[in-house]
Every structure is written in C-alpha cells, then in structure tokens.
Structure 1
Amino acid sequence: MTPVARPVPLRHQVQEALRNLIVSGVLAPAQHLVEAEVADRLGVSRGPVREALQALQAEGWVELRPGRGAFVHAPTVGEVGEVFGVRAALESEAAALASCAVTDDDVAELREVSARGRAAVLRGEYDLVVATNSELHRRIAEHAGNAMLCRMIASLDDRIRWYLRPVVRNRGESSWDEHDVLIDALAAHDADRARDLMRQHTERTRQANVANRP
C-alpha cells in the first residue's frame, strides 16, 4: 500500500522560498529581512516566516541579531575557501572516476551542456549560466558511479551557486574553456589529468570570488 502523501508544512515552504531567493541573488548578502515585508511578499503570516528564519540561521543563510532583526548572511573569505576546498576534494575525485566510465555518448552529452553554457554567456543570460554550470558538474558526478559521492556533491550545490553568481560575468567564457578541456580529459580516459583539471577549475572560481570582494 502506498503511504498517503503529507503536505509540506508552511514553514518549510517559506524556508525553501527564502533560501532560493538568497541563492538567486534576489536577496543580497547583509540585506535586512523584515518579517512583515517577507510575509507580504510570500503571502503568508509572520509566524511561518519567523520559524523559517530561525531554521535558515541554523543552516548559515541568515543571521538573527538581537534587537536588530534578521539579515542575509554575508559569507566570509574563510567560509568560501572551506566550501570550495571540500568541493575540490569531492569533484576532482568524481572527475577521475568519471574518466574511467564515460562512453562516447556520455561525452557528447557533456559537450552539448558545455555548448549551452557558453551560448548563455554570450547572450548575457547569467542565471542560465549558473544553472547550466550546476547541470554540467552534476552530470560529471553522476558518471563517477558513486551514489554517496553524488549526494555529498549535491549537498554543496546551493552554496556553490550562491558563490558563483557574483563572479559568473567575470569568469565568462574562460570557465567554459576550462570545462571543455576537462571534457577532453574525460574523453581520453585520463584520470590524473581530469582530477587535476577539476581541482584547478574549482580553485580559479574560488579566487574569482575572493577577488570580487570590495
């Protein structure tokens, strides 16, 4: 018998909506989040908003300051370095594993995704660039054939997109040049080169994020 689906609690819906607004850049780092304004924007009462903000603080997306209210968290250089360090360790290993498993059809699909990402850069569609970047990295991880590794990489996706968004314009086509060279290494089944290229690619994005700070 199939269990009856339970509706998602409203506070969880508000939490997800706010997280998406932060990741997408609609709510900027350090922006003041006024409960009443957030409630009006999302069409809910203030209670679920208050609960969602508390949960988002626990996740590191929001800061609750006594006497001042809620603010979008502004990630520090150290935090960015930690996340990209973990990403480099996980995704470089995923790239090495994927290089041993990809087929010609897999490589063709990766090249198609990369071409879409480059085209989005040329059109200035940077939201699409961020989404396509996530898609390409997810597909490479999936080709690694390690479900646990995929889940660990996926758990970083929101923060990676958050950190990439401010620098995606500056990274421009160079990021997709790096992707194409990486795909060449995957196609050649060169695990060592794929591992090194993914690590270098991740480090360049981290450096771009740090350099973009005021």
Structure 2
Amino acid sequence: MPESSTGAPARRISRPVPLRESAYNAILDMIVSGELQPGQHLVENELAVTLGVSRQPVREALQWLKNDGWVDLRPGQGAFVHSPTVEEADQLLVVRGVLETESARLAAGRATPEDVAGLREICRRGVAAVDADDVPAMIAANAELHAAVTRMSGNDVLVDLVAQVDRRVSWYYGSVARRRGAQSWREHADLIEAIAAGDPARSADAMRHHTELTRQSYLEHSAERGTAATAADARSDEAI
C-alpha cells in the first residue's frame, strides 16, 4: 500500500454511489419488474418525486438507460420505455439458450450436494410463487436459479456473458411468467435432477428444452399481443 507524506499508509475513502447511478438502477428495476411498461412515457418530474431526488440525476440516468437500450429518447416528446421488437427478443433468447445449455452441461460435472440442495430450495420458492400468483417472486426465483446454475459451471467467461443478458431475459420472462407457470418449474426440477445425477448430456438437454419453450412462449405471447392491437385499431377505425 502506498504511503502518505506523513509516512502512514494511504487510505482510500469509500465514496457513496452517485445519485445518477442509484437512479439508473432504480428505474431499471422498475422496467424489469414491469412496474414501468414498454412504450410508457417516462416523465422526469414524476420519476424525481418517486425516487426522492432532483431532476438532474434522473435526466442523466435516462441518458444511460438510452445508451444501454432500455429507454428511447424521442426529440420533442421525451423518454419512453423501450419496446423490444420480436426479432431482438428472439435473438437474445436464442443466445441465452446456447450459453445456459453449456452452463448446465458443465454444472453437472461440478455441482456439490450443497449446490443441488440450494437449487432445490430456489425451486421450492418458485413453485410457492406460482401458487401465490406472485409474478415478481416468480421472476426473481427464475433469475436466481439460472444464475446459480451458471456459477456452478465454473467458467468465469460464461458467468460474465450470461450476466450481460440476465436482466433483459428477466424483463422478457416477466411477460410470460404467469403463462409458463407451474410447467416452467417442473422443467427446472427436471434440470436439477439431471445435475444432481452428474449427467452432462441430460442436463444440457433439459436446459435446452426449457429455454426453447420459454422462447416459444414469448414469441406466441408477442404474436397474440400484436393480433389484439390490430383488432383494437380496427375497432377504433370503425368507430370513427
């Protein structure tokens, strides 16, 4: 450790997290949880009041969120929660499936009994969330289980790559969590048993099957939402 002019070891003073970073994380959490919906107008004054900060850190946070693809800034209109296209969601969910399938394969060869017990506890909480119709808890448990499997892979590069897409996957999953319901957690249970058995091929297959079903569910949901929107527009035109 370097020394100061007094001869004593230099000490770093820990700094509080900048307000713009706190605002960024808070707004992002509201987007991922569904509290702020795709396409929703984000009013700086309202967000500032909600977060208990001034408009400046909110404005800076919205710019960061725009840079990261979570928010759209429209000249003369303001900020809006990004509405992902079906194609961009599909591409990310395909990549997620590839990464997590490999994570599961590796995890099967490394998981300890304690690791497996942890996965079963997360699964238990996920099932309880489904029974209680608690969508935020479903989303949280789903993300926790997938992150735990990735950590068990022992591959730091995989952990970093999955972490990059994790929040966006949670965002997409939120729209189909209730639709996937108990079936998703039965698939998780199958995955856990494959990992517990130390079977890499079976674990990879279970994760591949699970992530593909989630992708298909999201695409079906998007198609239905698009059909409903088209029908609503048609009814509106007829009423004019």
Q: Normalising TM by the smaller chain, what interval?
A: over 0.9
Correspondence 1:14-163 to 2 at 5 A: 14-163=23-172
C-alpha RMSD of the superposition: 1.3
Cα gap change, 1:2/1:133 in structure 2, threshold over 3 Å: closer, same or farther?
farther
Match of 1:203 among 203, 209, 212: 212
TM-score by length of 1: 0.95
Aligned to 2:190: 181
Q: CA separation in 1, counterparts of 2:132 and 2:24?
A: 32
Q: How far apart are residue 94 of structure 1 and its match?
A: 0.7
Cα gap change, 1:187/1:4 in structure 2, threshold over 3 Å: closer, same or farther?
same
AA aligned to 1:118 is: V
Point out where structure 2 has 5 or more consecutive residues left out of the alignment: 1-9, 226-240
Point out where structure 1 has 5 or more consecutive residues left out of the alignment: none
Q: Per chain length, whose mean CA-contact separation is higher, i.e. which structure has more relative contact order (CA < 8 Å, sep 6+)?
A: 1
Aligned to 1:8: 17
Q: How far apart are residue 2 of structure 1 and its match?
A: 4.7
SS at match of 2:176: helix
TM-score by length of 2: 0.85
Q: How far apart are residue 148 of structure 1 and its match?
A: 2.1
Q: How far apart are residue 103 of structure 1 and its match?
A: 2.4
Does structure 1 residue 171 correspond to structure 2 residue 180? yes
What per-residue deviation string (whole Å, max 9, x for no partner) do you get for residues 164-195 of structure 1?
11111110100011011111211222211211
Aligned to 2:232: none
AA aligned to 2:169 is: I
Q: Is the deviation greater in 26-35 or in 138-147?
A: 138-147
SS at match of 2:175: helix
SS at match of 1:7: coil
AA aligned to 1:156 is: V
AA aligned to 2:205 is: D
What per-residue deviation string (whole Å, max 9, x for no partner) do you get for residues 136-186 of structure 1?
111111111112211221222211111111111110100011011111211
Cα gap change, 1:192/1:43 in structure 2, threshold over 3 Å: closer, same or farther?
same
